[in-house]
Amino acid sequence: MRNAFRELLAARATHCPLGSWVMSASPIVAEAMGRAGFDWGVLDMEHSPLDLLGLAQLLQAVGCTPMAPLVRVPWNETVLMKRVLDAGATSLLVPFVQNADEARAAVAATRYPPEGVRGMAGMSRASAFGTTPNYLKQANQGICVVLQLETPQAVAQLDAIAAVPGVDALFLGPADLSAAMGHVGELTHPEVFALMQQAAQRCRQLGKPVGTVGGNPAAVQRYREAGFDFVALASDLGLLMQSAQAGLAALRQNGAAPAASSGY
């Protein structure tokens, strides 16, 4: 079975897939982001008010656009991941994976037996409500798994995590990584950036795609030059706030300009 996000990763040598985050939990905004030209977008269930029904609605909205959805689940938890897959997600971003055992658990949660432990359902959005021929036998081939490394301890286990069968790509989370390194809020601190660059270079050596996120175009370009294969630019809410604040600042040149948002 085809997987749109995996196809983007396969073409990374000639085209760096550029994405963004969908934090608004709004189907209308998600659809607009899908029409803006992004190759992929993270539908975020970890740090947004998005619930399972809302996820299904976002997948419907993005499904009519060229943007490939990557669903970030709140945690590496088997039952939750089963429900997200049943809702129609085919590419998952799993946060805070620390070692190979946790990587294997994440992959197993996305696979039907005997390759994994995903519970079978004959009637779900994932199978087009039972109309996809041989869905239960073919579904495993169409699931893409991306694992987030968010601590120095996880980065130290990069080789072992990358070697787990079924792990399609890795993702370095600069916010949590910077906090774990004692540089809270300093996402591009030299020590943080150096570790991320080392991780990206090691992934290149292993042939494993690796991604990250930058808050502005300059940060995204710096990550691309450091060796990251796919990079997200901010988020729907981040881009909204940046544009709104810039517009207000321009109109209030003779007064105090609002502080620029530093978030994604």
Residue range 70-106, pLDDT digits in tens: 999 999 999 999 999 999 999 999 999 999 999 999 9
Cβ contact 159:206 at 8 Å: yes
What pLDDT score does 260 carry? 57
Give how far Cα 15 sits from Cα of 7, 11, 12, 63, 118, Å. 11, 6, 5, 22, 33
How far is it, in rounded angstroms, from Cα 15 to Cα 100?
Answer: 29
Long-range contacts of 254-257 (CB under 8 A, 24+ apart): none
- Catalytic site includes residue 47: yes
CA atoms within 13 A on the CB side of 153: 8
pLDDT in tens, 204-247: 999 999 999 999 999 999 999 999 999 999 999 999 999 999 99
DSSP states of 98-113: -SHHHHHHHHHHTS-T
What pLDDT score does 97 carry? 98
How far is it, in rounded angstroms, from Cα 153 to Cα 158?
Answer: 9
Q: The pTM is what?
A: 0.95
4-19: average pLDDT? 97
Tokens describing residue 137? 């036998």
Phi, psi of 69 (to 5 degrees): -85, 140
Give how far Cα 71 sits from Cα of 77, 86, 222, 246, Å. 14, 12, 25, 30
What is the percentage of the chain residues whose pLDDT exceeds 70?
96
How far is it, in rounded angstroms, from Cα 226 to Cα 229?
Answer: 9
pLDDT in tens, 19-48: 999 999 999 999 999 999 999 999 999 999
How far is it, in rounded angstroms, from Cα 166 to Cα 12?
Answer: 19
How far is it, in rounded angstroms, from Cα 148 to Cα 94?
Answer: 6
How far is it, in rounded angstroms, from Cα 24 to Cα 29?
Answer: 7
Q: Beta-strand (E) ranges in 97-209?
A: 144-149, 169-172
